[in-house]
Structure 1
Amino acid sequence: MQIVINGSFWPQPSVGIGQYLHHLLPWLHRLAPQHRYAMLLPAGAALPAAPVGIETITVKISGPRQIAKVIFEQIAVPAIAARLARNGQPTVIFVPYFAPPLRSRLPVVTTIGDLIPLLLPAYRGSWLVRAYMALARRAALRSTHVMTFSNFSRSAILNYLGLPPERVTVAYLAAGEQYRPAADRAAAQALVAARYGVHPPFIYYVGGLDERKNLPTLLRAFALVRNRHQRVTLAIAGRALGRDPRLFPDIDALIADLDLGAAVRRIDVPVADGPLLYQACTIFAYPSRYEGFGLPPLEAMACGAPVIVSDASSLPEVTGAAAIRIAPDDIAGWATAINRLLEDEALRDDLSTRGLARAASFSYQRTAETTLAVLEQVAGERAHLRKAVR
């Protein structure tokens, strides 16, 4: 079997779909080296080395970036895959994000992590974005099979896109191997203090500053916590990726309004230091209202951090009984949970132990096994259909 992969996100290993690809592809070849894997890449970007057993084919497309992107997804990927299929081997196109081709002679397996641009008003964007998503939605209906990252997202896909249940499969994500507890937690905390000026005890948040992430609830709860715990700090990693106030609330203004300027640290954390902050924090808090999966809480648990999450969307499914769950808009509830964890070391230790076990139950080997099963099933069905037609 040949698997032709849309590798648009391969040059971006720090973003969600890029991480997914970088973890998934090595396992695909490791589990099934008998297949041929060809990854199609847009020309022009600095390309990380491909995993062993993955052939790369660079595709040069001229024109404005957004137009070239659509041409690559809708024309180049299915056309090149069709050329590669001429040797008679069953061939499947694998598109690891929400951009399958509308027309393809070959079966297409598409990963849809979430339907946020279709379901949440603040994320619908300009008319160009809405047109692009309308195309993606129509093309997804023609995909032979759809993969997604949680049962919550699967239900959304079934309900909103109207796909039949047998064509949508869940393959959970996992924390990368670099996310593990510190060998010396005190040393990790000292390093965070030296690099970022953040001293224990501190609450940590990372995962985006856009509207659905619900940072105002965390900030208002933290203002209540500070009435009892004057020494605690809240560290917020990252910066807003845009200026639209509907999509990116002004959290700096809210920090000032709540008189938290001395207690909140805004930090930029490079990818290499991602595990370090999880390892050193006293609590990891994740108040998001909507996630297709929710990787940061899982990464935090893999590093031994006690975790509080919103009791919303996919987060209960991911964290199970290994995290404290609070309704996303319950400010008093968030403050109570944070106070309780700050004051109860035994509870923090218990959550840490449960979180480590929960995180270990997810693995990219399982993600790849499920993905391979779907790809092989789709290829087998197409091959059987061709024989029947002949």
Structure 2
Amino acid sequence: MQIVINGSFWSQPTVGIGQYVHNLLPWMYRLAPQHRYVILLPAGTTIPALPDGIEVLPVKIGGPRQVAKVIFEQVAVPVIAARLARNGEPTVLFVPYFAPPLRSKLPVVTTIGDLIPLLLPAYRGSWAVRIYMALVRRAALHSTHVLTFSSFSRTTILNYLGLSPDRVTVTYLAAGEQFRPPVDKVAVQQLVAARYKVQPPFIYYVGGLDERKNVYTLLRAFALVRNRYRHVTLVIAGRALGRDRRLFPDIDQMIADLDLGLAVRRIDVPVEDGPLLYQACTIFTYPSRYEGFGLPPLEAMACAAPVIVSDATSLPEVVGAAAIKIAPDDVAGWATAIARLLDDETLRAELGQRGMVQAASFSYQRTAATTLTILEQVAQALVIERKQHREEIG
């Protein structure tokens, strides 16, 4: 079998879909090296190191960036994949993000992590974005099979896109192998203190700063407990990726309005330091209102951090019984949970242990195995279809 992959996100290993493909593809090759893997990349893309067994085929597309993106996804990828299939091998096109081609001569397996741009009005963007999302929504209906990251997202896809249940499969994400408990937590805290000027104890959040991430609830909850815990800092890692204040609230203004001042520390964390902050923090918090999966809480649990999350969308499914779950807009509930963990070292240790067990129940090996099973089933159906066609005309 040949697996032709839309590799648009291979050059972005720090974003969610980039992390997904960087962890998934090496495991796919390890589990099934007999298949041929070809990743299509826009020409000129910076290419991080590729795993063994993955071939790269650069694709040159001219024109403005957004136009080139659509041409790559909707024209170049399906056409080149079809050409590669001329060698007679069963070939499946794998699109690991929400951008399947509207037309393809080959069966298409598409990963849809969530439907946020379709479901949340604030994320629908400009008219151009809306047209694009209408296109890929229609294209998703023609996908042979859809993969998604949680049962919550699967149910949403079934209800919103109207796909039949046998065409949508859950393939969970997992924390990368670099996320593990600290060997010496005090030493890690000292390193974080030196590098980021953050002393323990501290509460940690990492992620987007857009509206659905609900950082304002965290800030308001911290403001309620601040006077009692003057020695505790709230550390926020992340940055706004746009200027639209409806989508990206002014976090600094919120901090000033709540009179939190130096009690909140905003930092940028390079990808290689990601595990350090999880390992060093006293509590990890994730108040998001909407997730298709929710990787940061799982990464934090893999590092033995006690976790508080919203009891919304996919997050309860990800953390199980290994985290405290609070309604996303229950500011008093968040303040109570934070105070409870700050006061109870035993509970923090218990949640840390339970979190490690929960995080270990997810693995990219299993994700890759399920993905391969679907791809192989689709390829086998193609073989049967071709055989029946030959018999009909023969």
SS of 2:262 mapped into structure 1:
coil
Q: Which residue of 2 aligns with 1:361?
A: 361
CA deviations on 1:54-97 (whole Å, 9 max, x unpaired) are: 11100011111111111110011111111110111110000000
Per-residue CA deviation, residues 216-259 of structure 1 (Å, 9 max, x unaligned), is 10000000111211111000001111110110011111100110
For residues 265-292 of structure 1, the C-alpha deviation after alignment (integer angstroms, 9 at most, x for no partner) is: 0101110110000000000000000000
Q: Secondary structure at the residue paired with 2:321?
A: helix
May I ask how many residue pairs the two structures share in their alignment? 390
**Structure 2 match to 1:218:** 218
Number of the residue aligned with 1:373? 373
C-alpha displacement of 1:383: 1.1
Q: 1:11: Cα distance to partner?
A: 0.6
Other-structure match for 1:75? 75
Is 1:153 the counterpart of 2:153 in the alignment?
yes
Q: Which amino acid aligns with 1:296?
A: P
Which residue number in structure 2 is paired with residue 41 of structure 1? 41
- Equivalent residue number for residue 257 of structure 1: 257
Q: Does 1:142 align with 2:135?
A: no
**1:309 corresponds to 2:301:** no
- Give SS of 1:367's match: helix
Does residue 18 of structure 1 match 2:15? Answer: no
Give 2:112's aligned residue.
112
1:311-346 Cα shifts (integer Å, max 9, x gaps) = 000000000000000000000000000000000000
1:243 is paired with a residue of what secondary structure? coil
Q: Distance in 2 between matches of 1:128 and 1:46?
A: 26
In structure 2, what is the Cα distance between the partners aligned to 1:219 and 1:340? 17
Cα distance per residue 1:180-217 (max 9 Å; x no partner):
01111001111111111111110000011000000010
Structure 2-normalised TM-score?
0.98
Query: Secondary structure of the equivalent of 2:10?
Result: coil
CA distance in 2, matches of 1:251, 1:38: 43
1:198, 1:120 → 2: CA distance? 35
User: Matches of 2:279 and 2:222 in 1, distance apart?
Assistant: 21
Q: Which runs of 5+ in 1 are unaligned?
A: none
Equivalent runs, 1:186-335 vs 2, <5 Å: 186-335=186-335
Residues 150-189 of structure 1 mapped to structure 2, 5 A cutoff: 150-189=150-189
Distance, in Å, in 1 between the alignment partners of 2:93 and 2:31 is: 18
The CA distance in 1 between the partners of 2:239 and 2:161, in whole Å, is 33
Residue 251 of structure 2 aligns with an amino acid whose one-letter code is: I
Supply the AA of the counterpart residue of 1:113. G
For 1:330, give the aligned amino acid.
D
In structure 2, C-alpha distance between the alignment counterparts of 1:64 and 1:49, rounded to whole Å: 27
Question: Moved runs in structure 1, 4+ residues, more than 2 A?
Answer: none
Alignment partner of 1:333: what SS? helix
Distance across 2 between alignment mates of 1:39 and 1:240? 31
Q: Kindly state the Cα deviation for residue 49 of structure 1 after the two structures are TM-superposed.
A: 2.0
1: CA distance, partners of 2:42 / 2:206: 30
| Aligned mates of 2:335, 2:178 — CA distance in 1 | 31
1:186 partner SS: helix
Deviation of 1:44 (Å): 1.4
Amino acid at match of 2:338: I
Which residue identity is paired with 1:132? Y
Give the C-alpha shift of residue 262 in structure 1: 1.5
- Give the SS at the match of 1:10: helix
Counterpart AA for 1:297: P
Alpha-carbon offset, residue 385 of structure 1: 1.1
CA distance in 2, matches of 1:316, 1:238: 23
Q: What SS does the aligned partner of 1:284 have?
A: strand
